[in-house]
Structure formats: C-alpha cells, structure tokens
C-alpha cells in the first residue's frame, strides 16, 4: 500500500469530508507523494553523507575533505530531487526543466571552456612532456617560478621558488596553476629532459645554466689580479660542473662613472644557483680584502655647494 493511499485513508478515518471535498482527491495524493519524495530524499542524503564521511575518514582522509564532498553531495541531491518530482508527478510541466536544461547546457558549455582547455593541456603535457615532475620551470608572464610537483587534469602544482625570499630556492608554498593558462603563456624549463638522445653539447648542459657574479672595482685596481681572483673562485667552487660541461668561467666587463663592473660568468646547477653563488662571492670578498692591488668601487657622494662629503 502506497503512502498516498495511507494518507487519504487517514483523512477518511478522521471523517474530514469537507477537506476532501475542498481538495481534489488526486491533488491530495500528489501532494502526499511529493511530501514522501522530499522526506525520502532528506533521509537518503543524511544516510549517504554519513557513509561518505565514514569512507573518507576510514581511508585516512581529512575531516576537511569529507566536508567538501558532503557539501557537493548536498547540492547534487537538492538539484536532482525537484527534477524527479516533476518527472513523476508533473510530467506535463517537463518542458520547463527541458528548456532550462537546454539553456543550462549552453551556459555550461560556455562556462566549461577553461575546463576543456585545461584537460587538453594536461593531455598535451602528458604526451609531449615539455616538462616533467621535478623540473624547475618559469612562467615569465605570470612571474612564477617553481619545481613541478604534480600535473593533474585541471591543475599543475608547483613548489614555489622565490617569492618569500629574494633567491631561487624552494620555499615550500604550493602554487596551483590552471592548465588552460599554459596554452597562452610561455614556459621556461631550467632542467629539460630529453625523450631522444640529444646532441652531446646539449646533453652535457641539460641541468646547468649560466649565472654571473658582478663585482665593482676601482679604476686603479689591477685588472689581471682581480680577474684571477674571480676565475679562481669560480673554478674552485664549480670544478665538478666544469668537468661535466667542459665550459670554463670567463669575464666580461662594463665601465661606469665610479669604476668598472667585472662580470664573472660560469655554468651552475639550475636548482642550486643561490648556494654556488654564495660560495663564490664569499671567496672573492675574502681574497679582495687580503690583496692591496684590488679594491671594491664605492660611489663617491658629494655636494656641489658643500664639496666632498666627509
């Protein structure tokens, strides 16, 4: 016996003939059916949400994860229940959800363009592998740099490099980049890996990059001595890199008002630039302080009216 029949029988037992005459019997049955569906949907949601939460916690998931999924499930049940009621009890009005569905489909298609582009980008990255897990990449237009932790259907996750510090070191902050953004922005890979065997000169430098230490020296500094100090420091710190790449450090220079820029350029590890640069600068500073033939250039501050500042 259905719930609608029980409800009508209950009204008859109460001898509410006036109520039955005022309300059409079929309308009462429909209302009872709608009420039963709503109550059933509520009970189903409560039981299923508890089951979802228990399953997530059983698999060592977090309470926050369970809450997010339960919220999604609540919206899904609240969306499906009215459609079920219309389909069962008001089929003559099914044109309304059909129209809304068509309109919603158009809106959803427009709204899901980034999602489709993101999945397409994920497939492209997975198949072509312009970068892989563990690579250090730079997105210049987004001013982001990081080590690739994960490439998923929707997001690429980076361990941010820099950002909270003025250095190229991982800082432990995850950056979620929507994959669809990778279609419209260039990406620089500092640590490329090759599917096929690349030329030897490229393979030897695949995890290395060029870096420089800039030192300002005075005009009366002995260039030969200063260059020797810089080159010796780079050779000592990057001896293993020189052996791997067969590229020796070298010097370039620029002249400016207060002295000369000596630019020490050397190959360094793409993921260890700050430490190597620190080791070189420390050696250069100590060597300069012990040698009377070299000196750092410091801008001379003066006033046209007061003369040299003392």
197 within a domain of the structure (yes/no): no
- Does residue 212 sit in the same domain as residue 280? yes
Average pLDDT over residues 78-87: 78
- Does residue 7 sit in the same domain as residue 106? yes
What is the predicted pLDDT for the residue at 207?
A: 77
- Does residue 148 sit in the same domain as residue 85? no
- Does residue 84 sit in the same domain as residue 148? no
50 within a domain of the structure (yes/no): yes
284 within a domain of the structure (yes/no): yes
Higher pLDDT, 103 or 59: 59
Q: CA–CA separation, 264 vs 261, rounded Å?
A: 10
- Does residue 215 sit in the same domain as residue 283? yes
Please state the pTM of the whole predicted model. Answer: 0.57
118 within a domain of the structure (yes/no): no
- Does residue 153 sit in the same domain as residue 209? no
Q: CA–CA separation, 256 vs 126, rounded Å?
A: 49
The total number of structural domains in the chain stands at 3
Average pLDDT over residues 208-227: 91
- Does residue 7 sit in the same domain as residue 105? yes
- Does residue 138 sit in the same domain as residue 214? no
- Does residue 224 sit in the same domain as residue 279? yes
User: Is there a contact between 280 and 234 (Cβ–Cβ < 8 Å)?
Assistant: yes
pLDDT digits (tens, 9 = 90+) for 245-258: 888 999 999 988 88
Quote the longest CA-to-CA distance of the chain.
Answer: 116
17 within a domain of the structure (yes/no): yes
307 within a domain of the structure (yes/no): no
H-helix or E-strand spanning residue 223: helix 223-237
What is the predicted pLDDT for the residue at 199?
A: 45
Q: How far is CA 247 from CA 62, 70, 130, 197, in A?
A: 51, 58, 26, 21
Q: What is the CATH number of the domain that holds 271?
A: 3.30.70.100
H-helix or E-strand spanning residue 42: helix 25-58
Euclidean distance between the first and the last CA atom of the chain, given in angstroms as a whole number: 105
Domain that holds residue 156: 130-189
- Does residue 12 sit in the same domain as residue 104? yes
What is the predicted pLDDT for the residue at 4?
A: 52
- Does residue 25 sit in the same domain as residue 80? yes
What is the predicted pLDDT for the residue at 203?
A: 42
- Does residue 165 sit in the same domain as residue 211? no
Any idea which of 186-200, 234-248, 267-281 has the lowest mean pLDDT? 186-200
Q: What is the CATH number of the domain that holds 159?
A: 2.30.30.60
91 within a domain of the structure (yes/no): yes
pLDDT at 234 over 90: yes
120 within a domain of the structure (yes/no): no
Burial class (CB within 10 angstroms; exposed 0-12, middle 13-18, buried 19+) of 291: middle
Average pLDDT over residues 58-85: 80
What is the predicted pLDDT for the residue at 236?
A: 94
């Amino acid at each position: 016996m259905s719930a609608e029949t029980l409800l009508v029988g209950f009204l008859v037992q109460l001898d509410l003939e006036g109520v039955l005459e005022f309300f059409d019997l079929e309308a009462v049955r429909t209302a009872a059916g709608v009420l039963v569906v709503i109550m059933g949907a509520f009970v189903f949601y409560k039981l299923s949400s508890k089951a979802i939460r228990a399953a997530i916690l059983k698999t060592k998931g977090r309470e926050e994860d369970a809450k997010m999924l339960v919220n999604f499930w609540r919206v899904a049940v609240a969306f499906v229940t009215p459609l079920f009621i219309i389909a069962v009890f008001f089929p003559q009005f099914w044109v309304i959800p059909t129209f809304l569905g068509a309109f919603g489909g158009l809106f959803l298609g427009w709204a899901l363009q980034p999602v489709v582009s993101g999945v397409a980008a994920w497939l492209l990255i997975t198949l072509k592998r312009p970068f892989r897990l563990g690579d250090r990449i730079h997105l210049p237009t987004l001013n982001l740099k990081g080590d690739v932790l994960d490439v998923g259907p929707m997001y690429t996750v980076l361990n941010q490099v820099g950002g909270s510090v003025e250095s190229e070191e991982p800082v432990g902050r995850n950056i979620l980049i929507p994959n669809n953004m990778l279609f419209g922005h260039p990406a620089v890979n500092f640590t490329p890996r090759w599917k096929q065997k690349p030329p030897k000169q490229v393979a030897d430098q695949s995890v290395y990059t060029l870096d420089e230490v800039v030192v300002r020296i005075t005009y009366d500094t002995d260039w030969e001595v200063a260059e020797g100090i810089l080159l010796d420091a780079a050779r000592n710190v990057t001896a293993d890199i020189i052996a791997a790449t067969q590229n020796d450090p070298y010097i370039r220079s620029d002249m400016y008002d207060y002295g000369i820029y000596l630019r020490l350029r050397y190959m360094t590890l793409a993921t260890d630039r700050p430490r190597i640069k620190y080791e070189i600068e420390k050696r250069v500073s100590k060597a300069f302080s012990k040698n009377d033939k070299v000196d750092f250039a410091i801008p001379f501050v003066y006033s046209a009216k007061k003369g040299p500042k003392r």
